[in-house]
Amino acid sequence: MAWANFEGVFEGACQLSYRTVLTVTEAPEHEEELLEMLERALMRGLNDHLPLAEIHLPFVLFPRMNSKFWHIPVEDSGDSKLVRFFFEVPPVET
C-alpha cells in the first residue's frame, strides 16, 4: 500500500517539474572534451525538445568557462568531478 502511494506522489512530482538534470560524475580531463560534451548535450536537448537551460561544471578545472556556453549560463559545480546539465521540460498540457 505504501509503495503505491510513493509511486503516485513521484509521478505527480515529475509532472510538476520544469527541469530535468543530467549529472556526469567524471568530468572530462581536457577542455576540448568538455566542449564536445557541451555541444552534444545542447544538440540532444534541441532534438528532444528539451532545451539546455544551465550548465554546472568545475571551474577549478575549466576556469575559462566561467560565464556562458553560447547563450546558456554556466556556474561552478563546486566539485572537480561533477558536470550537470539542466534541461527545460515543456509544460504539460491539461
Percent of the chain predicted with pLDDT > 70 = 76
The residues, ordered by sequence, that sit 6+ positions from 61 with a Cβ below 8 Å of its Cβ are 27, 80
Judge whether residue 52 has pLDDT over 50. yes
The pLDDT confidence band at residue 60, using thresholds 50, 70 and 90, is: very high
pLDDT at 56 over 90: yes
21 Ramachandran zone, left/alpha/beta (phi>0; psi -120 to 50): beta
Do residues 28 and 37 lie in contact, with contact meaning Cβ atoms separated by under 8 Å? yes
Residue 12 pLDDT level (bands cut at 50, 70, 90): low
Query: Mean pLDDT, to the nearest integer, of 26-50?
Result: 88
Q: What is the mean pLDDT of residues 14-29?
A: 76
**Bigger pLDDT: 2 or 25?**
25
Cell numbers representing residue 7 in the block: 509511486
Within 8 A by CB and 6+ apart from 6, the residues are none
Report yes or no: 23 and 84 within 8 Å, Cβ to Cβ: yes
Strands 19-24 and 68-69: unpaired
